[in-house]
Amino acid sequence: MSIILCPSCGTKNRVDDLRSTLETPRCGKCGSLLPLSIAPLTITDANFAALVQHGSTPILVDCWAAWCGPCRGIAPVIEQLARESAGRWRIGKLDVDANPAVARQFKIDSIPTLLIFKSGQLVDRLVGAHPKPAMEAALRKAAG
């Protein structure tokens, strides 16, 4: 459970941490979107279903590995997208070496691979190091 201060009206809102990963929380008083964690979510084989497959907010999953140069190259862009999301989408990172089940499930043969989900369904896949505008365009399309 977290307390998040509404940037619009200043009301303190109690937000369930797991639920906030599934839906964008809103202020109980004025209805404004509440700011979420600025860091990408850590996605694992164990929490994948809870974080990705049951949420209504689009989520970009960066499938990466520590030894991958292009993965390290786009990491600052991924973090920037998370900071700038304003509740429109979520950003997560999946280490394919540590989480082979999800990597196998989605046939991750090359990294970085960016998977975009909406309502639990895979709606887009970007393979390789893409520039920020391409990632944003794919997220905007998924957000509809």
pLDDT at 25 (0 to 100): 81
63 is a catalytic site residue: no
Decide if pLDDT at 17 tops 80: no
- Catalytic, 68? Answer yes
Catalytic residue selected from 6, 27, 63, 68:
68
Query: What percent of the chain is modeled with pLDDT above 90?
Result: 56
Contact 30, 11 (CB under 8 A): yes
Instruction: Give pTM, 2 decimals.
Output: 0.76
pLDDT per position as a tens digit, 50-79: 888 777 788 999 999 999 999 999 999 999
In the prediction, which pLDDT does 36 show? 64
Residue of 24 and 32 predicted with greater confidence: 32
Identify which has the larger pLDDT, 35 or 138. 138
> With 60 as the cut, is the pLDDT of residue 21 above it?
no
In this predicted structure, the answer to whether residue 20 has a pLDDT above a threshold of 60 is no
Beta bridge partners of 3: 14
At residue 51, the pLDDT reads 85
What residue spans define the domains of the chain? 1-34, 37-143
Half-sphere exposure of 97 (CA within 13 A, CB side): 6
The H or E element containing residue 110 is none
Residues across the chain: 144
How does residue 113 score in pLDDT terms, banded at 50, 70 and 90? Answer: very high
Given pLDDT bands bounded at 50, 70 and 90, which one contains residue 105? Answer: very high
CATH for 37-143 (3.40.47.10, 3.20.20.70, 3.20.20.450, 3.40.30.10): 3.40.30.10
